[in-house]
């Protein structure tokens, strides 16, 4: 019997105007570690590899070569956290290191902040909620409110949505039962 085919997204790469500034931003905001740096052999450009996991050589690959006037083609680069306090800390660090266009969104199934990195790429930091509602869904999120208020408002909004389901039920319906 062959194993089921289930590739997992592992890392993301993006072209940069200023690779050193971008590497510093992701190290400072997300605590990523630079694992390698050099010039590509098949891709003739400077490369910087960053990771937050000792099990992964890199989660983010930065490459030189983005034109000075080249627009971002990154729809979003997302980082997951576990608590509202960690989401607040990501906001604090991002703003302290030059993030622009910061906004908070409550998606029902996730609580997110979005901002632009120094090269105008959209970055999301989010945490999952225990609920599901059809996406896209986005209400304003004010992280200066107490946790209890944020969670209560999120649950109320989710339960009022006709597509509401507990996240575990939605996962089972969408992906099937988890193997034992």
**DSSP 8-state code for residue 19:** H
Q: Classify 61 as helix, strand or coil.
A: strand
* C-alpha–C-alpha distance, residues 107 and 174, integer Å: 18
Greatest alpha-carbon pair distance for the chain in Å reads 54
Domains and CATH numbers, the chain: 12-66 (3.10.180.10), 74-180 (3.30.720.110)
pLDDT tens digits for 84-111? 999 999 999 999 999 999 999 999 999 9
pLDDT tens digits for 111-163? 999 999 999 999 999 999 999 999 999 999 999 999 999 999 999 999 999 99
This prediction's pTM: 0.87
Q: Is the pLDDT of residue 7 over 90?
A: no
Among 7-11, 34-38, 77-81, 84-88, name the one with the lowest average pLDDT.
Answer: 7-11
**Bridge-based pairing state of the strands 77-80 and 122-128:** parallel
The two structure tokens encoding residue 37: 């740096």
CB 104 within 8 A of CB 140: yes
How many percent of the chain have pLDDT more than 90?
Answer: 82
In this structure, the number of other CB atoms found within 10 A of the CB of residue 24 comes to 16
């Amino acid at each position: 019997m062959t194993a089921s085919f289930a590739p997992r997204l592992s890392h993301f790469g993006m072209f940069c105007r200023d690779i050193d500034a971008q590497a510093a931003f992701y190290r400072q905001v997300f605590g990523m570690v630079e694992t390698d740096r050099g010039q590509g052999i098949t891709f003739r450009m400077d490369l910087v590899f960053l990771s937050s996991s000792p099990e992964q050589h890199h989660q983010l690959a930065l490459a030189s070569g983005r034109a000075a006037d080249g627009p971002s083609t990154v729809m979003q680069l997302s980082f997951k956290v576990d608590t509202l306090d960690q989401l607040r800390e990501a906001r604090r660090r991002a703003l302290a290191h030059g993030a622009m266009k910061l906004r908070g969104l409550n998606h029902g199934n996730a609580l997110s902040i979005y901002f632009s990195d120094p090269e105008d790429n959209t970055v999301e930091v989010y945490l999952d909620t225990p609920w599901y509602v059809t996406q896209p869904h986005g209400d304003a999120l004010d992280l200066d409110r107490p946790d209890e208020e944020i969670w209560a408002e999120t649950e109320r909004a989710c339960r009022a949505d006709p597509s509401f389901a507990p996240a575990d039920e939605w996962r089972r319906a969408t992906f099937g039962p988890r193997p034992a």
